[in-house]
Structure 1
């Protein structure tokens, strides 16, 4: 891997200026950059035209290559390819470590979920169970107010329908998508039914009570995840693990093939299935949420073995270790 240097976007750097002939890139002194190799590096970053207040690293080995503000006012980043590859390896390894902790964590979560009343840990356990089984984004007040999109911590009672042990969640999610997912879990269904019977349809679904009702916060949920797993995991790691498992199981169902063209088609189908489960585009699902080792093993004729109702997490770890 290229030896990188840490970038400082608050320090000196290149900037982009609009002109009638297209963007002009200027160095720290405000002079137009004319070196063709440097211009090619900048163009290869594919900085969106809509970004404003663009800062570009003057160092080709900087771990952050560019920063800008998008139309929604959010700071966005372009990272060095080597940095991104390193971070991806760390991310997928962390998801595999999460898979190792889940059997024990799930037992502890079940104990909390079976408590009486509406205590904080019981409701946190419900949130853990939904993320574990449903891959729902955690959500935030900021996203809700800025985009009208909801996630787990901002769901209202009316976004959940409980029918026996089956819970169906339907709500406006990220990127103006309608999210629908179904979870079958008796303990979770019991708690959500109890909350809905006491709270109005426009009240927050995941709320806990100690005399008064309190809204569940993302930071509290991530802290609970760390406490129950014993690792530095967050809600997003569950989505990475789930995307990897969905793709692996899809490839197993499609079967291996001796021809490259069929393998490519089946990989595409598996990516599409994972994207649908996560509510992402296929490109984002493949690049951000599916461990590439699953595809490497598939090309070698190996697939996940979940025959006989085997729990997928140990089967995934076995596949990745092969």
Structure 2
């Protein structure tokens, strides 16, 4: 069982840590004061963190209950982190605890998106609204310039013009996502289609960008997106919250169906919506209360969900209000 979160110590990697140095076929470890670590228990603790042998510039916390256990650079020079399992559990719980509140803020967010999609072509407001619309409606990742450059994997902020195909029925996005997995999604709606046409017309290869007064074109940065989300929806909301919401919503819709249903079916529904594997969808993107529905008999599950009084807010999609009510009542009890 994981240790209770209050016992953890906040200890970031800008503080003195244990250094790792290669020695023969293995490694030696040195305390923050430079003393070789020989104690078997301490070496066992370090080994349990399982920092990959290929990592360089490895930092390991001297605190067994440090929230951050280790950092290092992988073969591509990217900084990687190893957190204490209790810290990870706390962060996951916070993510799910705020999901109902995020749902209640969706109408306000969608109204802002709708207004932004009608902004002038070339404006930052239009570009930001287009990115937010893709996060909401396509449930794709936000994207990273580094991942686009190094891995040729893309997201909402890094899509290229060639990744979009327009026709009379909407727009189809077709691009390599995380891990090189193909992502294909079709979006309908004349307002979004018109907005994407406008942002695509700017110079450069990017699908979504905006033009500054000096004529330079800029991509929307993930920091800008997350700042806008926090302003509208509150602290802790990021682009990833959309994927947690969409994964949970897809699993919830599957749970509303009559008949027996297991965790595998809930995970598959979320996986299909998000483009993850079912395992990743289950572990990272479905609220635990929704997963728990798989343990109920079909009759009890349908009865519990049917008796919920949905939250009624203009701007919510079908059954989103029921999901919010379900989460706010701790699983519909």
TM range (shorter): 0.7 to 0.9
1:218-266 Cα deviation digits (max 9, x unpaired): 2333333334445552212111211222222233347446xxxxxxxx3
- In the TM superposition, 1:102-121 aligns within 5 A as 102-115=106-119, 117-121=121-125
Query: Aligned to 1:153, what secondary structure does the other structure show?
Result: coil
Q: Please say if residues 247 and 270 of structure 1, whose CA atoms lie closer than 8 Å, have aligned partners that are also in contact.
A: yes
Question: Aligned residues, how many?
Answer: 311
Task: Supply the distance in 2 between the matched residues of 1:40 and 1:251 (Cα, whole angstroms).
Answer: 44
| Structure 1 residues 283 and 24: CA distance shift in structure 2, 3 A | farther
Give distance in 2, aligned partners of 1:229 and 1:30. 49
Match of 1:6 in 2: 10
Query: In structure 2, what is the equivalent of residue 261 of structure 1?
Result: none
Q: In the alignment, what sits opposite 1:217?
A: 220
Instruction: Find the counterpart in structure 2 of residue 263 from structure 1.
Output: none
Q: Is the Cα contact below 8 Å between 1:135 and 1:239 reproduced in 2?
A: yes
Q: TM-score, normalised by structure 2?
A: 0.80
The 3 A distance-change label for structure 1 pair 114 and 10 is: closer
- Show structure 2 runs of 5+ residues with no match: 309-315
Contact residue 13 and residue 56 of structure 1 kept, 8 A: yes
**Greater CA drift, 167-176 or 139-148:** 139-148
Asked if the contact 1:7/1:63 (under 8 Å) is kept, the reply is: yes
2:321 matches 1:319: no
Q: Give the RMSD, CA atoms, in angstroms.
A: 3.0
Which has a greater percent of helix?
1
1:286-307 deviation per Cα after TM superposition (whole angstroms, max 9, x unaligned): 332222222124324547669x
Asked if structure 1 preserves the Cα contact closer than 8 Å seen for 2:266 and 2:291, the reply is: no
The alignment's TM-score, normalised by the length of structure 1, stands at 0.83
State whether residues 130 and 192 of structure 2, in contact with CA within 8 Å, keep that contact through their aligned partners in structure 1: yes
Aligned to 2:209: 207
Alignment partner of 2:101 out of 88, 93, 97 = 97
Matched, 1:160 2:160: no
1:277 alignment partner in structure 2: 273
Q: Could you tell me how far apart the structure 2 residues matched to 1:153 and 1:51 are?
A: 29
Task: Note if 1:150 corresponds to 2:154.
Answer: yes
Name the CA shift for 1:165/1:119 in 2 (closer, same or farther; >3 Å).
Answer: farther
Aligned residue number for residue 288 of structure 2 = 292
Q: 1:188 pairs with 185, 192, 203, which one?
A: 192
Q: Work out the CA distance in 1 between the residues paired with 2:155 and 2:98.
A: 23
Stretch deviating more after TM superposition (4-13 or 79-88): 4-13
Distance (whole Å) between structure 2 residues aligned to residue 86 and residue 230 of structure 1: 19
1:195 deviates by 4.4
Q: Deviations over 1:107-133 (max 9, x none)?
A: 232233234544332332222111101
Q: Which residue is 1:66 aligned to?
A: 70
- Unmatched 5+ stretches in structure 1: 258-265
Q: Is the 8 A contact 1:195 1:205 kept in 2?
A: yes
1:57 equivalent to 2:61? Answer yes
Q: CA offsets, 1:74-93, max 9 Å, x none?
A: 12111112111111111122
Is the contact made by 1:52 and 1:69 (CA closer than 8 Å) also made in structure 2?
yes
Select which of 20, 28, 33 maps to 2:38: 33
Distance 2:259 2:24 in 1: 54
Shift of 1:103: 1.5
**Do the aligned partners of residues 253 and 38 (structure 1) sit closer, same or farther apart at CA in structure 2, a change above 3 Å counting?**
farther
Query: How far apart, CA to CA, are the structure 2 residues paired with 1:233 and 1:53?
Result: 32
Secondary structure of 1:246's aligned partner: helix
Q: CA deviation at 1:73?
A: 1.0
Could you tell me whether the CA contact under 8 Å between 1:100 and 1:313 is conserved in 2?
no
Match of 2:313 in 1: none
